[in-house]
Amino acid sequence: MNALLVPLVLAVVATAVIWWGSERLELAAERLSKHYGLPVAVHGAIVVAVGSSFPELSSIVISTVLHGEFSLGVGAIVGSAIFNLLVIPAFSALSTDRLEVTRDIVHKDAQFYVISVLILFIVFALGATYVPGGTNEAAILTPPLALIPLVSYGIYVFLHQQDASDHVADESVTVNPRREWARLTVALLVIAVGVEGIVRAALTFGAIFGTPSFLWGVTVIAAATSLPDAFVSVRAARNDESVTSLTNVLGSNTFNLLVAIPVGVLLAGSATINFLAAVPTMGFLAFATLVFIVFTRTHLELTNREAYGFLALYALFLCWMTLESIGSIETVQGI
């Protein structure tokens, strides 16, 4: 019992640390966006999304560099993407009277996110079929392959920069940029410390229960590192900022898939991922993405009934991963 209590307490404390650091990061990022005159869509899709995605980026860097567990980091990224698509919009919709969706979100951010899922899957497939040593069980990711999603994210930033070129900034906002950059830096360091704690807790859980690290990455680490995104989006929804609430989700997922995973590969030099486990989980991510797009596009609104449906779908995903890990079902090979 004591052996289980220690990692449990560590997970709770680490999650609180991540939340505290992310709160400060969000405030600093918001003030800097106002100082530099960024439009709301760019603030939500890039600034807030990248800032709130730092826990996920830290998770794959720390898992890969310090613990040699690249699969743990990838599990955290994929699990976080599913959490962001299903849980965060649901909580946002339930916290406000009306969560509205614009056509720009569906036609630009959501569609580019679909492309990012496809790009990452193609990179995994190339690592399994064209890289020497790669097999249908193990995809070997190399730095040249990692450049493909990174370049794609550069295109995403370029498209938003084009939209921001005609934006007229509010010059009445007074912000001390040096102070805000200093706060942002401290917040990043605090988040990194919290992520190290949650990674250690997940590895300990895996050792105690004799389960693969991928499970704890796709569940525990994913949920803990996604909390900043949840707080940002729910707060934005309560303030009637539906655009920021939803673009944060899509922008965060796009950053995680196209930047966080490739950064882990570049830091490791090369990395091997279980392709048999990646295919079905990426497939569920693609399915969750389609569900998100269809329901948000319908009447350009996410209703409470649809929000409960999102939560039920996420609960189904958790049950699926748990049953796979304990061997009750075997629909995913390699877990």
Structure tokens at 308: 């409960």
Q: Between 2-35 and 222-238, two packed helices, what is the crossing angle to 10 degrees? A: 40
Instruction: Tell me what pLDDT residue 152 has.
Output: 93
Q: Is 143 exposed, middle or buried (0-12, 13-18, 19+ CB in 10 A)?
A: middle
Instruction: Tell me what pLDDT residue 3 has.
Output: 73
Instruction: Tell me what pLDDT residue 46 has.
Output: 61
Instruction: Tell me what pLDDT residue 69 has.
Output: 82
* In 210-274, alpha helices (H): 213-216, 222-238, 242-255, 261-268
DSSP string, 20-40: HHHHHHHHHHHHHHHHTT--H
Instruction: Tell me what pLDDT residue 288 has.
Output: 92
Q: Which amino acid is at 32?
A: L
Q: What global pTM score does this model have? A: 0.84
| Structural domain boundaries in the chain | 2-325
* In the chain, alpha helices (H): 2-35, 40-42, 49-52, 54-65, 70-94, 103-104, 111-129, 143-164, 177-209, 213-216, 222-238, 242-255, 261-268, 275-297, 304-325
Report the greatest alpha carbon distance in the chain: 61
Closest CA to 267 of 124, 70, 88, 93: 70
Instruction: Tell me what pLDDT residue 163 has.
Output: 63
Within 8 A by CB and 6+ apart from 129, the residues are 136
Instruction: Tell me what pLDDT residue 103 has.
Output: 74
For the chain, list residues with pLDDT below 50. Answer: 169
DSSP string, 108-121: IIIHHHHHHHHHHH
CATH code given to domain 2-325: 1.20.1420.30
CA dist 22 and 24 (Å) reads 5
Q: Is 202 exposed, middle or buried (0-12, 13-18, 19+ CB in 10 A)?
A: buried
Instruction: Tell me what pLDDT residue 332 has.
Output: 63
Instruction: Tell me what pLDDT residue 149 has.
Output: 95
